[in-house]
């Protein structure tokens, strides 16, 4: 809803039409399309009908929405990830990425063009650099730059930026791929944990062979064991599958306990039916064609905290 409200404000400012009238048009457009389009999508159609074009506008990070094209941003790099090589489906190349922040939020930027990647490899852009980019595109919850995009250092000065990832409180029925959300619900199903090995340096899945373990990038390695566990959450509007990895699993049960049948059973009996908050990114599972949440934080709902929040209203 925050993105929708920002979009309505932009359309109202550009068109001179009252926000209330725009909201009426949005609902009329959704009704005409039998509710098969989101409020954000309907608002974008109305903007196009009013000949309002945001293609050349510099956006703030909290104004980004899934599916946006021709994204223009200015922000400060707060973290750069190592450049990686890939070789998949007879295609090979490099991928660069970093976290860009402004005063409204932060987001991961993914680079596919060698000219952009070379700016990182040559040290032309570093953590703390302010950059501007044009003609990028939103893909899930990330901004991707192709060979048709522009990226360069900026002379602008940005002092205060948000380093924590913002999340939107949403009902499960409202979720869309690419959003970073906070959801409250009840655990209605718990799947058996799965253990696997990763490279201790890049955290990619380790490859096991007769000689032990290896990594495509770091060759022979001593792997690190990790665990994955899935839950199903129900908030009364819909259900969704959650994926937790070791860091989040350890917040609710020591992962070594998951290898003990009795302790695992006790955990399942205790945790099933619990009311919890989860924060994470919504993604589409291409295999099952449904949405999932990759969990970045998890906690049980505290009645005391709920009472405190209600008292503040």
Domains 61-153 and 168-312 share a fold: yes
Tell me if 152 sits within 8 A of 113, measured CB to CB: no
Alpha helices in the chain (DSSP H): 2-15, 19-32, 39-49, 114-121, 246-249, 261-271, 303-312
Return d(Cα 183, Cα 294) in angstroms, integer: 12
Output the six-digit token pair for 84: 């990686």
Phi, psi of 156 (to 5 degrees): -70, 150
- Domain segments of the chain as ranges: 2-49, 61-153, 168-312
β-pair partners for 295 = 280
C-alpha separations of 2 from 167, 228, 283 in Å:
11, 32, 20
The CA-to-CA distance between both ends of the chain, in Å, stands at: 20
pLDDT for 1 equals 47
Domain spanning 61-153, CATH class = mainly beta
299 closest CA partner among 281, 267, 279, 276: 276
Task: Give the chain's count of helices (H) and strands (E).
Answer: 7, 16
pLDDT in tens, the chain (313 residues): 456 787 888 888 888 999 999 999 999 988 888 877 878 788 888 988 898 877 778 888 887 876 778 899 999 999 998 888 877 777 788 999 999 999 988 888 999 999 999 999 999 999 999 999 999 998 867 899 999 999 999 999 888 888 877 667 889 998 888 778 889 999 999 999 999 998 888 878 888 888 889 988 888 899 999 999 999 999 999 999 999 998 899 999 998 999 999 999 999 999 999 999 999 888 888 777 889 999 988 998 876 665 665 555 4
Tell me if 130 sits within 8 A of 151, measured CB to CB: no
Tell me if 266 sits within 8 A of 260, measured CB to CB: no
- Domain 168-312: what homologous superfamily? Nucleic acid-binding proteins (2.40.50.140)
Hunting for tokens 């021709």 — which residue is that? Answer: 70
Return d(Cα 294, Cα 313) in angstroms, integer: 31
């Amino acid at each position: 809803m925050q993105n929708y409200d920002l979009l309505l404000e932009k359309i109202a400012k550009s068109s001179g039409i009252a926000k209330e009238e725009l909201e009426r048009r949005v609902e009329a457009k959704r009704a005409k399309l039998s509710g098969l389009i989101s409020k954000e999508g309907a608002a974008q159609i109305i903007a196009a009908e009013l000949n309002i074009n945001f293609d050349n506008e510099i956006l703030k990070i909290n104004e980004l929405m899934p599916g946006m094209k021709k994204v223009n941003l200015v922000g400060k790099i707060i973290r750069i990830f190592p450049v990686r090589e890939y070789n998949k489906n007879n295609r090979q190349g490099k991928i660069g990425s970093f976290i860009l922040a402004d005063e409204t939020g932060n987001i991961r930027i993914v680079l596919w063009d060698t000219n952009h990647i070379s700016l990182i490899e040559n040290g032309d852009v570093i953590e703390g650099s302010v950059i501007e980019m044009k003609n990028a595109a939103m893909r899930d919850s990330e901004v991707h730059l192709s060979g048709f995009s522009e990226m360069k250092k900026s002379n602008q000065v940005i002092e205060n930026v948000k380093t924590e990832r913002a999340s939107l409180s949403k009902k499960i029925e409202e979720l869309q791929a690419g959003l970073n959300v906070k959801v409250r619900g009840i655990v209605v199903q718990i799947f058996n944990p799965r253990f696997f090995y990763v490279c201790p340096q890049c955290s990619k899945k380790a490859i096991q062979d007769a000689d032990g373990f290896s990594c495509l990038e770091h060759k022979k390695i001593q792997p690190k064991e990790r665990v994955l566990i899935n839950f199903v959450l129900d908030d009364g509007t819909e259900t969704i599958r959650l994926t937790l990895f070791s860091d989040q699993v350890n917040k609710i049960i020591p992962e070594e306990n998951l290898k003990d049948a009795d302790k695992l059973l006790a955990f399942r009996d205790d945790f099933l039916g619990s009311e919890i908050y989860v924060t994470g990114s919504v993604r589409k599972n291409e295999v099952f064609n449904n949405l999932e949440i990759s969990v970045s934080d998890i906690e049980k709902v505290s009645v005391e905290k709920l009472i405190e929040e209600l008292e503040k209203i």
